[in-house]
Structure 1
Amino acid sequence: MSQLYSTSITPEISSLRLCFYGAGSMAEAIVRGLIDQGLTAPKQIGMINRQNAARLDELSARYGVLAAFDNESKSVMLGEADIVFLAIKPKDAAEALKQLRHVLRRDQLIVSIIAGLSIHTMESLLGQSMNIVRTMPNTSSTIGLGATGISFSSSVPEGQRSLAEAMFKSVGMTAVVEEHLLDVVTGVSGSGPAYIYYMMEAMIEAGRGRGLSDEAARELTIQTVLGAAHMVKSTNEHPADLRNKVTSPNGTTQAAIETLDAHGFSQAIIHAVGRAADRAAEMGKDIERSATS
């Protein structure tokens, strides 16, 4: 029995073999975080994808990780891994997991970053109960400032739970939640960076429209968003309290906030988060239907 499966004590990540099934930007972010934080060595990490050999060559050259290109090598790499990261696109998930049914072992830890795919559906596709960590990271993980929601199948022991949290803390912060809340995590933080980018687009465009240069509008917007986020984090105050402190009666900020309210700004954000969460659930149901068809 492997060290990973046989103990509730958190194993040393550096002693384990990791395999990433999927080599997109999120997989790369996790790999970079693990290596940069000194949690493991590149030689302990293997990466595979469906057909993009050039991408694997790029990652191998950049980080020193191992890559498998033919089907036999892929099966060996997956079978020998202690931890398998499922980093494939949702639309490819059902087919891919069915193909893994006879490759993966019961004593492996499976870490999924597939949006909407439930633990129950994963176990059905794999044909057995397994130790599964379901996660929802966001794109800020690529710069070490990610936010990741994490849920566990009931069989995952404490040691493996701590291990999973440590891996994702290498690319940001983590929040352990009940699985049914992961769709909400998707709405808040998974898709969240895009809401901020969208607001920044509008701020930049407004500045340009009122005469600022492209560079000035961009830099002022970036610094404003950065500073606001740091203020919330460093003071630990509620955003509403900080907003009230800078909103003088009959001043410029009050006029701006009243305009946002008149256009339903808060409700638009609330509805956007809710729709993203609902869409994550819909995607999961689509995968489940394709798995049983």
Structure 2
Amino acid sequence: MKIVCIGAGSMAEAMINGWIRKRILRPGDIAVMNKSDEDRLDYLEHEYGVRKVDDDLSAISEAKFLLLAVKPKDVGVALASVREFIRKDVVILSVVAGVSIDAIQKAAGDHAVARAMPNTSAHVGKSATGVVWSKAVTKEQQYEVRDLLNSIGSVTVVGEDKLHGVTGVAGSGPAYLYLMAEAMVEAGMEEGLEHMDAMRLVRQTFLGAADMMQHDDFSVLRKKITSPNGTTQAGLNALIENGFKEAVHEGVKSAAARSKELGKEFS
């Protein structure tokens, strides 16, 4: 077995799905565990063919990687329950918001730790992921972790103090876009569009814009499609006048601040 997932929520599932779809790992290479939800483990076993870790925790000693994907408040209990079974050369790959490398090592032992902040677009291989390494992570292990993360999207290596910003921008970012998409659909319906037509138009607009954003600076793209006194200019003016950019800034800052708070709550 290559990896045991401690925690079986939406992020763990998104990563499992990405690994299997990209054939980075086989279902038999992955085991999952959590503290209470047996139905969730049964679902993951049935849906993806992964193994369950039940009462016999010795299976953890086979793992080369541990994916730590629990809520911040549960990190201490989760790691305490498996600490005696963790092999010395394991890499703990944490996707827990806010909880520092130092705190993880205090709870689990002085193991190699990679902290990553992906997002749930991992489910379709499109996550934007930030990652930071502890000093104990070897170059070879860094390459292996990057392979795991690259299989679910793109990877940006940052300093640990920057990971809160990654959380605010990328970790929580898809939800901001979904909220904007909801608002655009609602506004389109107010202008007479049918719900399904508005959904289709918004979905394709996001897809097209995302593709364009791969090829040019965002401000350049915005200026290219904004004719003076045109419809786009009118729409942008309304967004700016209603505090659109300030609201986005506050959203990112609030998510990053909450990440910092979660770390303090754990420590």
Answer yes or no: same fold by TM over 0.5.
yes
Shift of 1:99: 2.6
Alpha-carbon separation, structure 2, partners of 1:198 and 1:60: 32
- Which among 258, 261, 268 is matched to residue 240 of structure 2? 261
The one-letter code matched in structure 1 to 2:63 is: A
Indicate conservation of the 8 Å contact 1:86/1:110, yes or no: yes
Residue aligned with 2:84, SS = coil
Report the TM-score, using the length of structure 2 for normalisation: 0.96
Residue 170 (1) aligns with residue 155 (2): no
Residue aligned with 1:102, SS = helix
Which residue in 1 is equivalent to 2:196?
215
Shift of 1:263: 1.1
Residue 271 (1) aligns with residue 250 (2): yes
Residue aligned with 2:141, SS = helix
Q: Per-residue displacement from partner, 1:14-51 (whole Å, max 9, x unpaired)?
A: xx621111111211222222222222222221111112
Alignment of 1:131-146 (within 5 A): 131-146=112-127
Alignment of 1:4-83 (within 5 A): 17-70=2-55, 73=56, 75-83=57-65
Shift of 1:114: 0.7
Indicate conservation of the 8 Å contact 2:121/2:127, yes or no: yes
Which residue in 2 is equivalent to 1:195?
176
Provide runs of 4+ in structure 1 moved above 3 Å.
none
Runs (5+) with no aligned partner, structure 2 = none
Runs (5+) with no aligned partner, structure 1 = 1-15, 289-293
The one-letter code matched in structure 1 to 2:100 is: S
Which residue in 2 is equivalent to 1:122?
104
Alpha-carbon separation, structure 1, partners of 2:153 and 2:183: 27
RMSD of equivalent CA atoms = 1.3
Alpha-carbon separation, structure 2, partners of 1:55 and 1:195: 27
The one-letter code matched in structure 1 to 2:230 is: G
- Which among 228, 235, 238 is matched to residue 249 of structure 1? 228
Which residue in 2 is equivalent to 1:180?
161
Shift of 1:106: 2.3
Shift of 1:180: 0.7
Residue aligned with 1:115, SS = coil
The one-letter code matched in structure 1 to 2:178 is: Y
Indicate conservation of the 8 Å contact 1:111/1:133, yes or no: yes
Identity of aligned residues (%): 42
Alpha-carbon separation, structure 1, partners of 2:146 and 2:93: 11
Which residue in 2 is equivalent to 1:97?
79
Residue aligned with 1:58, SS = helix
Indicate conservation of the 8 Å contact 1:25/1:142, yes or no: no
Alpha-carbon separation, structure 2, partners of 1:99 and 1:58: 23
Alpha-carbon separation, structure 2, partners of 1:149 and 1:19: 21
Q: Per-residue displacement from partner, 1:190-221 (whole Å, max 9, x unpaired)?
A: 00001111111111111111111111111111
Alpha-carbon separation, structure 2, partners of 1:257 and 1:17: 49
Report the TM-score, using the length of structure 1 for normalisation: 0.88
Shift of 1:115: 0.8
Alpha-carbon separation, structure 1, partners of 2:84 and 2:151: 31
Residue aligned with 1:101, SS = helix
Indicate conservation of the 8 Å contact 1:19/1:85, yes or no: yes
Aligned residues: 267
Residue 224 (1) aligns with residue 209 (2): no
